[in-house]
Structure 1
Amino acid sequence: MTQQYNFEKLYREYHVLVFNVALNYLQNLEDAEEITQDVFVKVYHSLENFNQKASHKTWIYRITINHCLDYIKKKNSQKRFFIFGQKSQNEQEYLNATNFEHPGILMENQEDAAILFKIINTLTENQKTAFLLSKLDRLSNPEIAEIMQLSISSVESLIFRAKAALQEKLAEKFTTYRKKK
């Protein structure tokens, strides 16, 4: 099979997966589309060097997650630059720079989902990755361990700590919210 055929097959098989992972990380349609394009450009250029020890799915997950994390770091550093570089006149522009857009969530649930994702975004990178892969992508712990290149027990620990942190932060958030009413 040619590299072009392999690439087209991989794109057909995994482009929805890549888009969904990016959307879960970034909560923005345009950003998820951009990441999807970037991931497949990388896949195309790296296909002949692909390590056959991992599955294509695992390899593409890793590329996607790394691109998302890099994108978030880059975007956050740009936001800080704009604030500290006096290019933004209003701190609210920084705080509200990303809008929550997720097509899989009903309009009436968008506000609650935005709160949840805002809290998910406060997790450490590894906790966030393990949690998203487990709860949103519904991958098994062995699959997550392979993608993250960690032991299964490490993945279990990350998911446990992520859930505990989310419970604590959500409890704080909604207690504060109830007091405001």
Structure 2
Amino acid sequence: MEENKLIDRIIENDEAAFRELYDTFSSRVYNTALGFLQSTEDAEDITQEIFILIHRSIKNFNRDSSLSTWIYRIAVNKSLEFIRSKKRKKRFAIVKSIFAKEEAEELPDFLHPGIIAENKDRAKILFKAIDKLTENQKTAFLLNKIDHLSYKEISEIMKVSHSSVESLIFRAKENLKKELYNYYNDKI
């Protein structure tokens, strides 16, 4: 299989093979990270970290699985890990600012492929609503709507059943409808 040959070449430190893997998956990994992190700078950093991790751990890849599923799983896990780390840092900064009487404001960057300048406000509202979803709902929703993955692919990445993915996406949509309805209803 072509995929196995590519993996073998990467394990043998063939730079051209790794470049091929990077060229094939980098935009998908970046867009996945961007969907979670909502910051181009953070998504670029995480994308680099993801490919470093892929390079280091590809020798442990289970070839019974799909390479793309494995890469998406790494991208999702690293993105969620980054969010958790950022929340811990943010909580610490809030506590520190209370005692130090300083306010550190972090402005998110909401640039995302496909969102043009005049839709920035709408995108910001949507991303705030997405951020309120549970971690599993957010993961399933973003993989389906941003990365256009099938329920089967999402179930493999998240290691849950097909019906769980359906349920997570359904609940995510319902929660987003409520959140966005409340937001837009308050504006009328």
**Normalising by structure 2, what TM-score?**
0.88
Q: 1:39–1:67: 8 Å Cα contact kept in structure 2?
A: yes
> Secondary structure of 1:85's partner?
helix
Quick one: which of 95, 98, 104 aligns to 1:84? Answer: 95
> Which residue is 2:80 aligned to?
69
Q: C-alpha separation between the residues in 2 aligned to 1:61 and 1:154? A: 18
CA displacement at 1:140 relative to structure 2: 1.0
- Structure 1 runs (4+) deviating above 3 angstroms are none
Q: Determine if the alignment matches structure 1 residue 29 to structure 2 residue 40.
A: yes
**Normalising by structure 1, what TM-score?**
0.91
> Secondary structure of 2:148's partner?
coil
Q: 1:7–1:47: 8 Å Cα contact kept in structure 2?
A: no
Q: CA RMSD in A?
A: 1.5
> Which residue is 2:28 aligned to?
17
CA displacement at 1:83 relative to structure 2: 1.0
Cα pair distance change 1:88/1:80, threshold 3 Å = farther
Quick one: which of 5, 18, 26 aligns to 1:7? Answer: 18
Which residue identity is paired with 1:90?
Answer: E
Q: 1:82–1:88: 8 Å Cα contact kept in structure 2?
A: no
Aligned length: 175
Q: C-alpha separation between the residues in 2 aligned to 1:40 and 1:124? A: 27
CA displacement at 1:88 relative to structure 2: 6.5
Gaps of 5+ in 1: none
> Which residue is 2:3 aligned to?
none
CA displacement at 1:8 relative to structure 2: 2.7
Question: Among the aligned pairs, what percent are the same residue?
Answer: 48
Which residue identity is paired with 1:43?
Answer: I
Q: 2:40–2:109: 8 Å Cα contact kept in structure 1?
A: no
CA displacement at 1:85 relative to structure 2: 1.4
CA displacement at 1:79 relative to structure 2: 1.1
Quick one: which of 53, 66, 71 aligns to 1:60? Answer: 71
Deviations 1:62-96 (A, max 9, x none): 000000001011111111111101256237x2xx5
Gaps of 5+ in 2: 1-7
Q: C-alpha separation between the residues in 2 aligned to 1:104 and 1:147? A: 25
